[in-house]
Structure 1
Amino acid sequence: MSETNRIEYKSQLTKDLDLEKEVVAFLNYREGGNVYIGIDNDGKVCGLSDPDGDALKIKDRIRNNISPSAMGLFDVVAEKQDGKDVIRIIVASGSEKPYFKKKFGMTEKGCYIRMGTAAEPMPQFMIDKLFSSRTRNSIGKINSHRQDLGFEQLRIYYDEKKKTLNKQFRKNLELLTEDGFLNYAGYLLADENNISVKVAKYSGNSRVDLIENNEYGYCSIIKATKSVLNKMEIENRTAATITPKERNEQRLWNAIALREAIINAMVHNDYTREIAPKFEIFADRFEITSAGSLPEGLSKDEFFEGYSVPRNKELMRVFKDLEMVEQLGSGVPRILEYYGKACFHFSENFLRMEFPASERVTESSTTQVTPQVTPHVTPHVTPHVTPQVEKLLNVIDDTHNSQELMEMLELVNRKYFRKSYLQPAVNAGLIELTIPDKPRSSKQQYRITEKGKQLRSSAMKLDKN
């Protein structure tokens, strides 16, 4: 394969190789690009003798020799081609153009742009034009509302990946403004903030009947993201259709696409508007709405082809450090693989993703069962126990009133709780009333029966197996 406007080949990494020029050119190019080390100009694979050592040198050179900071805008990936080791440098288009080599500054010797298959010096008039329109309203340039912030949650997540945050981590992770104050990226990653991340659930296909309203915000955006992922892992149950010949299983949503979409929304949301992504579960679909439409200079076609223009490079870097994202530009193609372009909806100020469910998410009032096909949802304690009753059995451990049980289940709709959780459990003899002769008593409480305990114990054993 020959070089293109988005592909550059270099046979070896040497001190004489002007790697920074190639990277700067792609940072300034609206589509970004890829630099391959270990392949010559003719496309012949030469291979590298020390790919790991070369990868470290590449990261250091890009980090130290290019301005504005390119951290969060590039990946260095080791690959095999023709059985030989090569390195691929994935470069995203930056939002703070013009990028330049620090040694020469914002001049024609320091600024480059991709033209065809070559990195060409950027004319001074273009440098001046880009600088005058440079995006300054970013989370890296906005001062945090608070400067008395802690980062214990972030330290724990880095420790889990055997990475240490030293005393200079605020500077190293670009959580400070040029004046040395904590920026809005630091605010989002801190232990406490005022960003509310919600996962709402409705009984129908509209927002009329809210049955759950889970809030995971006011903490590190990393912790909030993991909480949303965990919540949706629980919601994304496996539906099974049993016929006389076979059992067909399918989750409500594709797990890979779901994870990519949630993380993409958290990383690329426009937080300068102080709005967090919103996650909503309907009876027929799952919706994600994030602030900000397409990044400036990126068309819909380029978006769908996987060209990456990270809106929040500081967040992208941390998410990559914690291995929550793999490489730049990989999220959208993975979503498209399962749901296609139709799941994306763009407006002037928002991006919405819609994922249809493989079957009804919330139970309808009537369920028809034929002898030929039996709808069945796993996991169940028994075929007669709904997921809602199963959840109730899992949380009840003493005597509780209805309000306490609703809070434990994170429910807000009392009518839905009684109809779908409490009453079926009582009717099945799994939950009993403490004042059975006065079911409407204000002092009424509920406790699990021996039958309920046996079913719960059986379910735990099945889960372990």
Structure 2
Amino acid sequence: MIFQESESVELKAIVVEDIKKEIIAFANCEGGKLYIGIQDDGTVLGLDNPDEAALQVSNMVRDAIKPDLTMFLHYETLTIAGKKIVAVDIQQGTERPYYIAKKGLRPEGVYVRQGYSSVPATNTVIRRMIKETDGDHFEEMRSLEQNLTFEYAKKTFEERNVKFGPAQMKTLGIVTQDDVYTNLGLLLSDQCVHTIKAAVFKGTKQNEFQDRKEFSGSLFQQMDDVYDFIDFRNQTHSTFDRLYRIDRRDYPETAVREALLNLLVHREYSFRASTFISLYTDRLEFISIGGLVSGVSLKDVTMGISVCRNTKLANVFYRLELIEAYGTGIIKIMDAYEGTGMTPQIETSDNAFKIILPNLNASPEHAKITQVHSQKDTTEEKVITLTKERGFVTRKEVEIFLGIGQSSCGRLLRKMAENGQILQEGKGKNTHYCLPK
């Protein structure tokens, strides 16, 4: 019997660490045979203890290679010219790509067969293998990044009294049964690669930036940070009906919330492009990557019919009571504008979905009788005036007075305290702020 290395045959004199690479490469491609006890040139050296060699390889496969590959390997001891060797038959695995556990789903951990050698796979090849074995559902595919943390997600679950342990992560689809993170896990992790870009423009066109920022991190962190970014700029305007003052914010908070959640839950994450939020003087736009799901029309969406692109992600948001089980988001947006004389607009293309919220305080008729309170220019002065009138204020009082969110208010008060404009006194629930003496 003549032994020669080829695309499907690998020869090793003894059991060495590199054997892992050869086994992974065969399992990721079309299978192959590994002979132990034979030199590269085909010379049969034999093994003193073939059973021990087979056990070494078996332990190596079980402990160092993921996903589990043991069922795709068959061991046999052969006698050639009076010498014993071990033949390992490796079949193509069904959960490709296989990889060295310590190195993860990266080129340095994934190997494929190329000619007579086992070489690192490219990211493109890795993605193709994942798609072939996991299907086209992005959130269920194994993540290319496996070194993930979930600090912000844990905080979010804790705030809503929902458990977030290993069992729950598997149930939700964040981790597979083999403890491999999915793309859903990547989206909720602190290492999420997808971002949201937000910009504030002067006027009604994209001619001049007033502010812009890119938000990253877990989708939960992006959700909170983006909402605060908008909320801080969602100005309150006052009108008077005889002796009574009527306050109205530029954008209904319900509409902002639902549009943002729609942006997060329904976007197409298989594309790496950022989603966009644009704030003009007359409107607020949310532009999400990914058009309508196939078979669903714009009329269906406005009627409340919802076919979710990311069902597992939507399930997570549903469990946290951030969204409802049915497609009520768009209806809530429309209802928030009922009776205002203005209507939100929805535009779609093959690859994008846009929600346009009109500024309730931007109409010419309303502008004639509006007294504008600019949060950007006079917010700190308002806090100082309120504190002077009352002697001291709490964060909650400032929130209500300014009409801003908890996080935005916290940042404002911290900044003012750091600048020496106010003093923080007390701790916990007794925390309050007063003016320097």
Q: TM-score range by the shorter chain?
A: 0.5 to 0.7
Q: 1: CA distance between counterparts of 2:209 and 2:230?
A: 17
User: Does structure 2 conserve the Cα–Cα contact (< 8 Å) formed by 1:243 and 1:374?
Assistant: no
Rounded to whole Å, the distance in 2 between the matches of 1:344 and 1:165 is 36
SS at match of 1:240: strand
**Which consecutive residues of structure 2, in runs of 5 or more, have no partner in the other structure?**
1-133, 385-417, 424-431
- How far is 1:326 from its partner? 2.5
Cα distance change on mapping 1:140 and 1:195 into 2, 3 Å: closer
Matched, 1:350 2:352: yes
State the superposition RMSD in angstroms. 3.6
Aligned counterpart in structure 1 of residue 307 of structure 2, from 300, 304, 309: 309
Q: Which moved more, 1:164-173 or 1:149-158?
A: 164-173
In 1, are the aligned partners of 2:192 and 2:219 still within 8 Å (CA)?
A: no
Partner SS, residue 249 of structure 1:
strand
Counterpart of 1:194 in structure 2: which amino acid?
Answer: V
User: Corresponding residue for 1:167?
Assistant: 166
Amino acid at match of 2:279: I
Distance 2:357 2:250 in 1: 9
- Tell me which amino acid in the other structure corresponds to 1:269: R
In 1, Cα distance between equivalents of 2:419 and 2:256: 35
Q: Which has more radius of gyration?
A: 2
1:347-386 aligned within 5 A:
347-360=349-362, 375-378=370-373, 386=374
- 3-state SS in 1 of match to 2:376: helix
Tell me how far apart the structure 2 counterparts of residues 303 and 342 of structure 1 sit (CA, whole Å).
13
Displacement of 1:184: 1.4
- Residues 448 and 243 of structure 1: CA distance in aligned 2, closer, same or farther (over 3 Å): farther
In 1, the alpha carbon distance for the partners of 2:381 and 2:344 equals: 39
Q: CA deviation at 1:453?
A: 6.8
Q: Could you tell me whether the CA contact under 8 Å between 2:233 and 2:376 is conserved in 1?
A: no
2:86 is matched with none
Select which of 248, 252, 256 maps to 2:250. 252
Please give the alpha-carbon distance, in whole angstroms, between the structure 1 residues aligned to 2:315 and 2:422.
47
Residue segments in structure 1 that go unaligned for 5+ positions in a row: 1-134, 362-368, 379-385, 397-446, 455-459
More displaced stretch, 222-231 vs 279-288: 222-231
Q: Which residue of 1 aligns with 2:322?
A: 324
Distance in 2 separating the partners of 1:163 and 1:269: 25
> Could you tell me how far apart the structure 1 residues matched to 2:422 and 2:155 are?
36
Between the aligned partners of 1:377 and 1:243, the Cα distance in structure 2 is: 16
Q: Match of 1:271, SS? A: coil
**Percent of aligned pairs sharing the same letter:** 25
- The one-letter code matched in structure 2 to 1:388 is K
**Is the 1:269–1:276 Cα contact (8 Å) retained in structure 2?**
no
Aligned residue pairs total 257
Matched, 1:275 2:284: no
| Alignment partner of 1:197 is 2:196 | yes
Q: Deviations over 1:248-293 (max 9, x none)?
A: 3221112212211110111001111123431110011100000111
1:392/1:176 Cα in 2 relative to 1: closer, same or farther (>3 Å)? Answer: same
User: Could you say if the C-alpha distance between residues 395 and 255 of structure 1 is closer, same or farther in structure 2, counting changes exceeding 3 Å?
Assistant: closer
SS in 2 for 1:204: coil
Alpha-carbon distance between aligned partners in 1 of 2:379 and 2:280, rounded to the nearest angstrom: 19
Shift of 1:392: 5.9
Counterpart position of 1:390: 378
- The aligned residue for residue 143 of structure 2 is 144
Q: In structure 2, how many angstroms separate the alpha carbons of the residues matched to 1:394 and 1:199?
A: 27
1:314-350, CA deviations, whole angstroms, 9 ceiling, x for partnerless residues?
A: 2111111211112321111112224587610011110
CA distance in 1, matches of 2:157, 2:352: 31
Residue 186 of structure 2 aligns to which amino acid in structure 1? Y
- 2:256 is paired with a residue of what secondary structure? helix
Hey, what does 1:212 align to over in structure 2?
211
Q: What's 2:261 paired with? A: 263
* Cα drift, residue 180 of structure 1: 5.3
CA distance in 1 between partners of 2:150 and 2:422 (Å): 41
TM, length-normalised to structure 1: 0.49
Structure 1 residue aligned with 2:154: 155
